[in-house]
Every structure is written in C-alpha cells, then in structure tokens.
Amino acid sequence: MTTPAPQITVLDGFTLNPGDLSWESLQALGECAIYDRTEPHQVVERAATATVVLTNKVVLTGELIAALPQLESIGVLATGYNVVDLEAASQRGILVTNVPAYSTASVAQMVFAHILNFTQRVSEHHRAVAAGRWAASADFCFWDVPLVELAGKTMGIVGLGQTGRAVAKLADALGMRVLAATRSARELPAYVTRRELDPLFQESDVISLHCPLTPATEKLVNRHRLGLMKKTALLINTSRGAVIDEVALAEALSAGALAGAGLDVLSVEPPPANHPLIGAPNCVLTPHIAWATREARVRLLETVVENIAAFLAGRPQNVVNEGC
C-alpha cells in the first residue's frame, strides 16, 4: 500500500525565498502550498489539510494548533521557535523542529559590519568624496571624525554560543582582547576571559549581544548597565531587540553616554515610525538582515528539507520538543 504524500504548507516563505532560491527540493517531498505571507485569520484555511506546516514568524498558538486536525509536524524556518506553542504541540504529539546554526558566519559578519561602520565611516567618507570635498582639499587626505583601530581594544560578548564564539574568533583575529559573560560550563577558547556582566560592561570598548530572549535576559541592557559603559564604547545587538531597554538606550545615546549603537533587531519588527531609536544620535539600524545572506538562506532551506525528510523516514532531527 502506498503511503500518501504529505501535505506541506509554507505560511510565510518570502523572507527565506524572495525568488532567488528554488522550492523544488521541498516540492519533491509532497504536495506543497507555498504562501509569501499569511495573516493569523488565514492560517486555518490555508493549513486545514496540512500534515506539515512551516512557519517563520507566523505565530502558531494552541488555539490554531487545535484547529488543524491533520497536523503532524511543525517546522520553524529559523533557529528561534518562540512562535510555536510547544506545550500545545506536544500534547497533540506534534513534532516541532528548528534550524540551528545556519546563519552563524553571516551574523558574525554583520556584527563587524556594524563595528567597522563606526570605526572607519567608509560610506560617510565616500559621500564626502563624491560631493567633491577631496578634490577641493588642501591636503592629500581628510577625515571628519577620529578613526579607531580595533587592535588592543576590548570586545565584550554576552552569550557565548556558536555565534558568540564566531564573533570572539573574529575579534581575536583583529587583535582585540575578548571578554565573555556566559552561563555555559563549556571550556572557553584560550583567548577568551570569563567576566560577570557588570565588569564586562565597565571594561569593554565594544559589547556584542548574543543571548537568547528569556525572562532573565529581557532588558538585560538597562539604565544601570548602560551607565557602566565607557563614553567611547559601542553596543552591537544581533540577538533579540527586547534584551535592550530601548527607551533607556535612546536616552543614553542622546546624552552621549556611549559612542554608538549598531542594532539589527528591535523589540517590535517592523517598528512603529515613532520608535525611540529611529533617528536617535549615533544609532545605526539594519532591518533584521544579519541572517539573510543568500548562503545562509540556502543552508536554511536545505536543513528544512532534511528535517522533513527525516521526519517522514521516522528518524526526526532538530526536534525542539523532545518526548512529545
């Protein structure tokens, strides 16, 4: 007897694949319905017969999960899986999978894109040259702000998982002293020194956040810790926006309490037009794209397909609700 092909519904595939990748490997696994975006009220209709649902940011609440009687597996098109009610899925025996570590190199690269943006001001100086200022200069060179060498400076990393370690490795390669605040018992690389949070904020010239968002880390970067930072220090966040008290950061930047903030994430995405950090002095925002290199998205899609194939073969992998 032939096993029926799985019904696979992709609720919000556009950010993973805006058109430059192929869905063929996924479509080879079963009958696929692929939507660029799905509003909450559309989930039940679109996934009514699905055995596998894939979501990136569409929230699957317990109520929605209960309304999908054919559902057997939920695949999150990301590493974080807080968009799924794990308890509700587990009660139904529905496996939930994610895609770990696909974007480690890309996120680490974005960290240093933000850092180097502040230390070298490449785009600003290019615009000055394009405006004719170099041609009109009395000297062979000019600069508008002090340029900063990273060698010898201190990098503080909050959270030393895979991405934090990748950032630490790059910082070491640039000659930086590396401190890390981490609860992991894993042995640290030889070039990394463990620090508690407050001393790390006091000593660091650059602080890069790589901790998950939990009740313990929400607004971890608060007025107290911003007050510990050097006025010349930079704050970089590629983890989750809510680990920073954004109002406190906007106030600190306006007061000149730190040199700058480079943020790829905010607590609400997309943010409201009146978000306190939009337009804040020395605050550079990118729209949650650290993960989104083509290379990382290829790895993401490949692992999603592997997760589904493993599930169908009875050997599930990357399961985040073990024992369901």
Domain 104-285: CATH class, spelled out: alpha beta
Position 1 scores a pLDDT of 42
Q: How do residues 228-268 score in pLDDT, each as one tens digit?
A: 999 999 999 999 999 999 999 999 999 999 999 999 999 99
CA 312 from chain centre, in angstroms, equals: 29
Sheet holding 52-55, edge to edge: 31-34, 7-10, 52-55, 73-76, 95-97
- Label residue 322 exposed, middle or buried (CB < 10 Å: 0-12, 13-18, 19+): exposed
pLDDT of res. 322: 72
Closest C-alpha among 104, 79, 95, 57 to residue 308: 95
Residue among 142, 153, 141, 162 nearest 116 (CA):
153
The predicted pLDDT at position 3 comes to 62
Which class in CATH covers the domain with range 7-101+294-312?
alpha beta
Residue spans per domain, the chain: 7-101+294-312, 104-285
| Residues with pLDDT less than 50, the chain | 1-2
pTM recorded for the entire structure: 0.92
pLDDT at 324: 57
- Cα–Cα distance for residue pair 103/37, rounded to 1 Å: 22
For 266-293, the pLDDT digits (tens) are 999 999 999 999 999 999 999 999 999 9
Query: Residue 212 and residue 269: Cα distance in Å, rounded?
Result: 17
Q: What is the pLDDT of residue 186?
A: 84
Domains 7-101+294-312 and 104-285 in one fold: yes
Q: Where are the alpha helices (DSSP H) in the chain?
A: 24-27, 43-47, 62-66, 86-91, 104-120, 122-130, 162-173, 197-203, 223-228, 246-254, 294-312
The residue type found at 108 is A
The radius of gyration of the chain's CA atoms, rounded to the nearest angstrom, is 22
- Residues serving a catalytic function are 240, 269, 288
